[in-house]
Homo-oligomer: A and B are copies of this chain.
């Protein structure tokens, strides 16, 4: 497939000087797609031109169509979002790809950046954050602020990612198990679970276990 020129922008009227930004959403979770679509509907000068739940159907769309911005999930059922991103920016150099990610996948955003993405948004981003990201890419800027903020808020050797064990422990904590009960389940000492709990509280910058569970659920870590 040859790289092709960016097609003419659509003639969607919104305001005098602005064309509507056409957004294409790619995520395999209907909840995320519809949630995002709903958020975008509340932003003036923006329209959703389509969505796809697989890499294949996304790339299929972009064979004959284009958009201004693609909100692209990193985890797709058939292919990595990173590969999809590479393909898209190769074929549509003017296309702005914004990665969609969960809190626990933040390590992948660097690879998305290398793959040509112009920014990223957490799946539970606020309307404000979405708006800022779209304004940034519309002005040919990038939007990685959230990542940096996130990084700054994290202690412990700049660890961005929860470890497998930590997530495992976190799930049991949210179930209501005590350190000792989790320890029995995982055949380790209660001290170990306590360490994991403390690291989780530290990494996610929360005050206690209650807030830890809330943050974990709201960021879809568990």
Is A93 interfacial (CB 8 A cutoff)? no
**Beta-carbon contacts of A204-218 to B below 8 Å, as 1s and 0s?**
001111111110011
Is A190 interfacial (CB 8 A cutoff)? no
- A3: chain B residues at CB < 8 Å are none
In contact, B176 and A207 (Cβ under 8 angstroms) = yes
The 10 closest A-B pairs by CB, nearest first: A176-B211, A176-B207, A34-B34, A213-B213, A174-B214, A30-B38, A217-B217, A209-B210, A210-B213, A176-B208
- A33: chain B residues at CB < 8 Å are 34
Cα-based distance from A69 to B30 in the complex (angstroms):
23
Cα-based distance from A156 to B206 in the complex (angstroms):
32
When the two chains form the complex, which single residue of B37, B175, B210 contacts A176, counting CB atoms closer than 8 Å? B210
Is A16 interfacial (CB 8 A cutoff)? no
Cα-based distance from A214 to B218 in the complex (angstroms):
10
- A38: chain B residues at CB < 8 Å are 30-31
Is A10 interfacial (CB 8 A cutoff)? no
In contact, A206 and B31 (Cβ under 8 angstroms) = no
- A173: chain B residues at CB < 8 Å are 210
In contact, A174 and B211 (Cβ under 8 angstroms) = yes
Cα-based distance from A221 to B53 in the complex (angstroms):
30
Interface centre among A35, A37, A206, A213 (most CB of B within 10 A): A213
Is A178 interfacial (CB 8 A cutoff)? yes
- A208: chain B residues at CB < 8 Å are 176, 178
